[in-house]
Amino acid sequence: MQHRLEFLDLQAFVQVAELGTFHEAANRLHLSQPALSRRIQKLEEVLEVTLLERTTRRTRLTPIGIDFLAKARRMLDEYESSILGIRDLATHQKGTITIACLPTAAFYFLPSVIREFNTAWPGIRIRILDVSAHQGLEKVVRGEADFGINMFSAQTSEISFTPLLKDPFVLALRADHPLAGKQHLEWSDLEQVRLITVSRDSGNRTLLDNALAPTGIHLNSFYEVQHLSTSLGLVESGLGVAILPRMAMPGPDHKTLCAKQLPPPYIHRTIGLVRSNAHSLSTTAQLFINMLLEHWAEEAVSPE
């Protein structure tokens, strides 16, 4: 007999996954443990996979279960939004918007728009996933985020990209560094200083390496970190300098750090709105996007 995927089975799985035990999940759902076990078993039969590994004390997700948990949560959210909260959603009184955003772009793009959006629709919650460029694209493609704010990358059939602005790369250094007082930098000035870089799997590092590769410029990449915020911390400690997007820099009134314009070839990244071509947007997410695009319309650019 062919079973259907049911809301209550998904709800049972999410509760067990989040609480870690059948006992606590059964209490939360007001079910007996055998009834809860039957729901999980039925769900696994429908999907033809094993989602949970059961032990005497704890219950752990299998690798497939970990992947399915995000999908199950989204299905429950969509059900709640489309069925249980339809009246509120029709008037935009309730709902949740999930945005996958580059950490450096989150502070730059979102606060002013969120403030305006919350004034207009105070009942709509906003969830920000501050993740790397690669992770952000994945979350949009998988439907784990309604949309993203990300770097421009190779266009694919899975996503569409709407550019918002260009973010130039600058040299970050201490204000008391010898190069801080130099009016015009040359790449040769940077060959002898210790450069703090982000890892090679970073989109920002890829942009920098690709821009410098044809020029024959070789920099002294002495330290490597995972996050731009870490590189700024090392710069502030006097361990070296860093080349990073201007958006990652603190304001001009910072007591220790300053930014210098780099010589040609000028390097920049294009930041914009990323949407999935496979998943339809909720009306609340579209409201936020409309406000975001209106807010940044004057600075919109076309990717190169």
Closest to 203 measured CA to CA, from 302, 138, 134, 271: 134
Calculate ∠ Cα 255-258-264, nearest 5°.
Answer: 175
Predicted confidence at residue 133, as pLDDT, reads 86
* pLDDT score recorded for residue 303: 42
Q: Which amino acid is at 59?
A: T
> What pLDDT shows up at residue 120?
84
Cα end-to-end span (Å), the chain: 55
For position 147, what pLDDT does the model report? 94
175 lies in the same domain as 157: no
Q: Please name the amino acid found at residue 58.
A: R
- Please give the residue range of the domain that contains residue 274: 86-164+270-299
Contact between residue 223 and residue 196 where contact means Cβ atoms under 8 Å apart: yes
Same domain, 112 and 241: no
Same domain for 200 and 53, yes or no, is: no
Tell me the pLDDT of the chain (304 aa) as tens digits.
445 778 889 999 999 998 888 888 889 888 898 899 999 999 999 998 999 988 766 788 999 998 899 889 888 877 776 664 555 555 556 678 999 999 888 887 788 889 988 888 888 889 999 988 888 999 999 888 999 999 886 567 788 999 888 999 999 999 999 999 888 899 888 888 999 998 887 888 888 888 888 888 888 889 899 888 899 999 999 999 999 999 888 877 888 999 999 998 889 999 999 999 888 888 888 889 998 888 776 444 444 4
> What pTM was estimated for this model as a whole?
0.64
> Residue 178: which of 189, 170, 191, 186 has the closest Cα?
189
Please tell me whether residues 187 and 255 are part of one structural domain: yes
CA 69 – CA 195 distance, rounded (Å): 41
Q: 176 and 238 share a domain? A: yes
Task: Record the tokens describing residue 277, joined without a space.
Answer: 């071509």
Q: Are 193 and 304 in contact (CB under 8 A)?
A: no
Has residue 77 been placed in a domain?
A: no
Distances in Å between the alpha carbon of 199 and those of 85, 106, 111, 130, 186?
44, 21, 28, 18, 24
> Which tokens hold the place of 69?
């948990």
Q: Which residues face 165 on adjacent strands?
A: 271
Residues 92 and 174 in one domain: no
Distance from C-alpha of 140 to C-alpha of 113, rounded to nearest angstrom: 20
* Alpha helices (runs of H) in the chain, residue ranges in sequence order: 7-19, 22-29, 33-47, 63-79, 86-90, 103-120, 133-141, 187-190, 203-212, 228-236, 283-295
Looking up residue 232, the CATH number of its domain turns out to be 3.40.190.10
Same-domain status, 159 and 172 = no
Residue 62 sits in the same domain as residue 115: no
In a shared domain, residues 148 and 293: yes
Provide Rg for the chain, Cα atoms: 24
Q: Clarify whether residues 239 and 123 are in a common domain.
A: no
Residue type, 85: G
